[in-house]
Amino acid sequence: MRTVRTEENIASVSESVAEDREMSIRRRSQQLGLCYSTTWKILRKDLDVKPYKIQLVQELKPNDLPQRRIFSEWALEKLAENPLFYRQILFSDEAHFWLNGYVNKQNCRIWSEEQPEAVQELPMHPEKCTVWCGLYAGGIIGPYFFKDAVGRNVTVNGDRYRSMLTNFLLPKMEELNLVDM
C-alpha cells in the first residue's frame, strides 16, 4: 500500500509509539495500514526517534571488586613463580537457557527520543536448561547439561554440581591427562 507522510499518518504513528514503544516497524506499519518505508521515515524524520537495544548487564555486589583484586594478586604471584602457571587453570561457568521465549535483545528495539530505562519482567520460575563448560589452555571441556535421572532439565544445586564434578569433570580430566590442573 503506497502512502505519504501526512499529518494524519504522523499522528497515528506517534500515538502508536506512545502506546507501545517496543513494537517492530513491520508490525506497526501493518497495524496502521502504512507501508514499511513510510513508517520508518515518520519514526526517524518526523518523530525523531531511534531504535535502542535493551542492555543486559551483570550485577556487581559490593564485595566483588575486593575479591577480584585478591584473585588477581594471587594469580600474579603464581605467574612469577611459574611463567606457565596459566596452563594449569581451568575456568568454568554455567549458563541458563530459558525455554519460554526469554528476550533476545538482538530482536528487541525500543523507539524513543532518549535512551529508555527498559525493564522486562520474567516469570518467577521459568523452564530452563543449565549448561556447564570449562575452558583451559588446551581447549574446552564440555558442554555438560544438568538433567535428572529421566533426562529432564534441572537447576543446579550443591549435590548436582558435586555429581557433575565427580562423574563428568574428573574422569574427563583423567582422560585428557590433566593431572596438574
User: Can you give the pLDDT at residue 80?
Assistant: 97
Overall number of domains in the chain? 2
Q: Which helix (H) or strand (E) holds 124?
A: none
Number of Cβ atoms within 10 Å of the Cβ of 73: 10
Candidate from 50-64, 103-117, 150-164 with smallest mean pLDDT: 103-117
Query: What residues make up the domain containing 34?
Result: 7-48
Of the pLDDT bands very low, low, confident and very high (cuts 50, 70, 90), residue 127 is confident
Average pLDDT over residues 98-108: 63
What's the whole-number average pLDDT of the chain? 86
Q: Are residues 77 and 161 in the same domain?
A: yes
Q: Are residues 24 and 75 in the same domain?
A: no
97 assigned to some structural domain: yes
pTM comes to 0.51
Q: Are residues 78 and 154 in the same domain?
A: yes
Of the pLDDT bands very low, low, confident and very high (cuts 50, 70, 90), residue 78 is very high
